[in-house]
Structure 1
Amino acid sequence: MTRKQKRLASLFGILAVVGTAAGLVLTALSDSVAFFNSPTDIAARAPDDGQRLRLGGIVETGTVHRDASQRVTFRITDTVESVPVVYAGLLPDLFREGQGIVAEGRLGSDRVFVADTVLAKHDETYMPKEVVDDLKARGLWKDGAIVSAKDGTPSGAGL
């Protein structure tokens, strides 16, 4: 084998090792990737069973219920559709009805979203960027506030 052939074989060997390592890393990370969905997205097409995702929207008024074991149930809405959510644990201090949040978890076979993380940050005027972008795309966001899907009037929640 000539020197040129040895170098070429070494190069292909290194590329194979790097390619295999990159494939293993991407496979390992695919389980922790969470794609953002709105309640309308989930109603239109159900995600795969066990797929990790982020559900964003507004906590629907009158739907927050807590039990003695720190389990909280509520509904997240984008003013068009809503999804029931179950969360076990302590909620952020800024979590409340009418607040924009993002929950991470999995959608159960019973169409109930089981959250393992609930994000509600900053102050009372904060709305997660993903939620605002989704509401703007649906025409439900105007002048820094959510508008009703029915009559186009501001609902009071927003930036």
Structure 2
Amino acid sequence: MWRSSFIYIQGVKPRTKFIIGGVLVIGTAGYLAASAIRDTGVYYLTPGELSAKTKADPTFYNTGVKVGARVVNGSIVRDPGGREVAFRMTDGAQTYDVVYRGITPDTFTDGVDVVVEGRLGRDNTFRATTLLAKCASRYENAPEKYKNTPGYKKAEQKVVSS
């Protein structure tokens, strides 16, 4: 015989049913939160550290990671008519080819520091899903000790005249 409640267990008090239901809801929410954090939590490495990780543990290939490095000068190749860009990144010790499909930041140029998020394939090509370019040093204020140098004055004149 069914009553108005969803679960009818003979001899169980309504308060106990409420506690059991609450534990189930909180447990489900906790599981979903933990799995979401695990999926979005990625490592932040340099190319040298990434190389060491993949040598020590070959299963580390195709694992989501963040890598911070510098774009190698002259290595940027843009797909004509598309949004794909290929370039090389390095930390001085290790260099990787990177392929990224998406809109690149305005500050993405040769020699800029980047943070890429994605997966390193067994072919040692990093397939990035996110590309962040750090602001170039030209946007930062120069330290006072450099303001009287000939190079700083020359650069300052270029900026003023353009």
Return the TM-score normalized by structure 1. 0.64
1:103 aligns with 2:139: no
User: Structure 2, unaligned stretches of length 5 or more?
Assistant: 1-10, 139-162
**% same residue:** 34
Structure 1 counterpart of 2:151? none
1:37 aligns with 2:45: yes
Give the residue type in structure 2 aligned to 1:75. R
Correspondent of 1:20 among 28, 31, 41: 28
For 1:61 and 1:76, the matched residues in 2 are separated by 9
User: Structure 1, unaligned stretches of length 5 or more?
Assistant: 127-159
Residue by residue, what CA displacement relative to the aligned partner does 1:67-119 show, whole Å, maximum 9, x if unpaired?
Answer: 31332211111111111101123211111111111011111221211112111
For 2:42 and 2:93, the matched residues in 1 are separated by 23
SS at match of 2:40: coil
CA distance 1:12–1:64, shift in 2 (3 Å): same
Aligned residues: 123
Structure 2 counterpart of 1:72? 85
1:55 aligns with 2:63: no
Return the TM-score normalized by structure 2. 0.63
For 2:84 and 2:36, the matched residues in 1 are separated by 30
Of structures 1 and 2, the larger Rg is shown by 2
Q: Does structure 1 retain, via aligned residues, the 8 Å contact 2:53–2:60?
A: no
- Stretch deviating more after TM superposition (85-94 or 24-33): 24-33
Cα root mean square deviation, aligned: 2.6
For 1:49 and 1:78, the matched residues in 2 are separated by 19
Q: Which has the higher helix share?
A: 2
